[in-house]
Amino acid sequence: MTTGYDRREFLRLGGIAGVAFASGLFSTAGARAQAADFHFVQFSDTHWGYAGAANPDAAHTLEKAVATVNGLASQPDFIVFTGDLTHTTDDPKERRTRLARFKEIVSALRVKDVRFMPGEHDAALDRGEAYKEFFGAPYYTFDHKGVHFIALDNVSDPAAKVGDEQLAWLAADLKQRKPDDRIVVLTHRPLFDLYPQWDWTTADGAKVMELLMPYRNVVVFYGHIHQEHHHTTGHIQHHAAQSLIFPLPQAGSQPKRGPLPFDAANPYRGLGTRDVGVSPASGYGIKELPVAKA
């Protein structure tokens, strides 16, 4: 697989993957006039600090993915990390050591516009205290070339809730949007009940979806489940990314949630990052990127 970004290929792959949105997604002339084609890269679930049999290369996988993204022929406008930057630890000092080392590794990215958000491994044990020391607010918005991005925190609360305060903040932000504004939601956990038995849900995700539903052009990119996954609720699409540490099985496909065994013949199977192309004419195109060039 090539790692260069090519517009024709993006459209083609988007079509094959069934995730190229209808051209009507960006439906108004106003939206078209404001928009420009661009792409961004999503990293997720890097789990820096993990040590175990599911990835004997854990100390180097993130560095390899950074090198691969740095080698893209067309550099993305920005990069997002959708949580679980580090692997969980009970030791607050070790948590900070891992966050610091993670930050150091990703500082090698050529693209300097990098957005972070926490996963429950980073933030659930101290309600995001250490995470905030390194990366600031766990939820925020930003705008890029006519698209409104909303990063939501559904991990700092150990009960997996977005919480009333953030819901009120989200409602106030959405009030400023027009019904056909293009909105991308970034978050760690799925906002729908993908498989609550394995903690693949957000306790008050239904409240988030209720707030988003009136907006016609919303798409969600998330992580947490360590595999590519596509789902639609109403008119809103949800796209889960692969991880960079170990793949997890499909929901309910085995009795317990646990890493898929390491395959020495194919060490990066099921791992990678993702390039997301944004086009006013054709919507979003997703291209999964390998950890390292073959």
Stretch that binds Fe ion, among 34-42, 43-51, 101-109, 110-118 (CB under 5 A): 43-51
Nearer to Fe ion, 82 or 217 (CB): 82
Stretch that binds Fe ion, among 40-48, 155-163, 178-186, 253-261 (CB under 5 A): 40-48
Nearer to Fe ion, 5 or 48 (CB): 48
Q: Give the C-alpha distances (Å, rounded to integers) separating 194 from 42, 50, 189, 206, 250.
A: 20, 25, 10, 12, 10
From 223, 156, 239, 212, select the one nearest 189 (Cα to Cα): 223
| Residue appearing with tokens 């009030």 | 175
Nearer to Fe ion, 84 or 153 (CB): 84
Nearer to Fe ion, 84 or 181 (CB): 84
Phi and psi angles of residue 153, each rounded to the nearest 5 degrees, phi first? -105, 105
From 195, 213, 193, select the one nearest 203 (Cα to Cα): 193
State the binding string over 17-36 for Fe ion (x if CB under 5 A, else -): --------------------
Q: Give the C-alpha distances (Å, rounded to integers) separating 39 from 51, 82, 285.
A: 33, 16, 9
Q: Where are the alpha helices (DSSP H) in the chain?
A: 7-17, 29-34, 58-70, 92-106, 120-123, 129-135, 164-175, 205-212
Q: How far is the CB of 150 from Fe ion (least distance, A)?
A: 21
Task: Yes or no: say if 220 and 237 are a contact pair by the CB < 8 Å rule.
Answer: yes
Q: Is residue 120 a contact point for Fe ion (CB under 5 A)?
A: no
Nearer to Fe ion, 5 or 246 (CB): 246
Stretch that binds Fe ion, among 42-50, 106-114, 124-132, 172-180 (CB under 5 A): 42-50
Nearer to Fe ion, 121 or 207 (CB): 121
Phi and psi angles of residue 97, each rounded to the nearest 5 degrees, phi first? -60, -45
Distance between CA atoms of 149 and 142, rounded to whole angstroms? 5
Nearest 10 degrees: CA dihedral of 92, 258, 68, 6? -130
Select the residue interacting with Fe ion from 5, 20, 40, 45 (CB under 5 A).
45
Q: How far is the CB of 120 from Fe ion (least distance, A)?
A: 8
State the binding string over 76-95 for Fe ion (x if CB under 5 A, else -): --------x-----------
Nearer to Fe ion, 84 or 275 (CB): 84
Give the number of residues in contact with Fe ion, rule: CB under 5 A.
2
Q: How far is the CB of 210 from Fe ion (least distance, A)?
A: 26
Q: Three-state secondary structure along 225-257?
A: CCCCEEEEECCEEEEECCECCCCCCCCCCCCCC
Q: How far is the CB of 223 from Fe ion (least distance, A)?
A: 6
Q: How far is the CB of 259 from Fe ion (least distance, A)?
A: 10
Nearer to Fe ion, 216 or 226 (CB): 226
Q: How far is the CB of 5 from Fe ion (least distance, A)?
A: 26
Q: Is 47 exposed, middle or buried (0-12, 13-18, 19+ CB in 10 A)?
A: buried
Give me the residues that bind Fe ion (CB under 5 A), please.
Answer: 45, 84
